C-alpha cells in the first residue's frame, strides 16, 4: 500500500524533501512508516518519538495505516 509522509521544518531539511511516498506492506502501522523514514539518508536525525498524525489527526505508533493515508511527522514546537 502507498502512503504519503509529510515532513516539516527541520525534518524536511534533514531529509531534503517536504513529502515522501512510501510503499508499505498491508497491515503496516504508523511506527512502520516512521521506521521506513528513519532508514533513509538523514532519517537518523529524527528524534526518538516525534509527534505523528494520520490524515490530520494525532496518531500513536501502533495505529494501523490504510492505502492513501497522509502521515505527518511533526517536530517539537517551542513558543515564547
CATH number at residue 56: 3.10.20.30
80 within some domain: no
**pLDDT in the model for residue 76:** 78
Q: Could you read off the pLDDT of 12-44 as tens digits, one per residue?
A: 988 899 999 999 999 999 999 999 998 998 888
40 within some domain: yes
Distance CA 30, CA 69 (A): 10
Total domains, the chain: 1
Please give the residue range of the domain that contains residue 31.
Answer: 2-74
50 within some domain: yes
Q: What is the CA radius of gyration of the chain?
A: 12
Q: Could you read off the pLDDT of 50-73 as tens digits, one per residue?
A: 899 999 999 999 999 999 999 999
13 within some domain: yes
70 within some domain: yes
Name the band, by pLDDT with cuts 50, 70 and 90, for residue 80: low
Whether 41 and 28 have beta carbons less than 8 Å apart is answered as no
Amino acid at each position: 500500500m502507498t502512503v504519503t509522509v509529510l515532513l516539516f521544518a527541520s525534518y524536511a531539511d534533514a531529509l531534503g524533501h517536504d513529502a515522501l511516498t512510501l510503499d508499505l506492506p498491508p497491515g503496516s502501522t504508523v511506527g512502520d512508516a516512521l521506521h521506513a523514514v528513519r532508514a533513509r539518508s538523514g532519517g537518523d536525525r529524527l528524534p526518538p518519538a516525534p509527534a505523528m498524525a494520520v490524515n490530520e489527526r494525532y496518531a500513536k505508533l501502533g495505529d494501523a495505516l490504510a492505502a492513501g493515508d497522509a502521515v505527518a511527522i511533526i517536530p517539537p514546537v517551542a513558543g515564547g
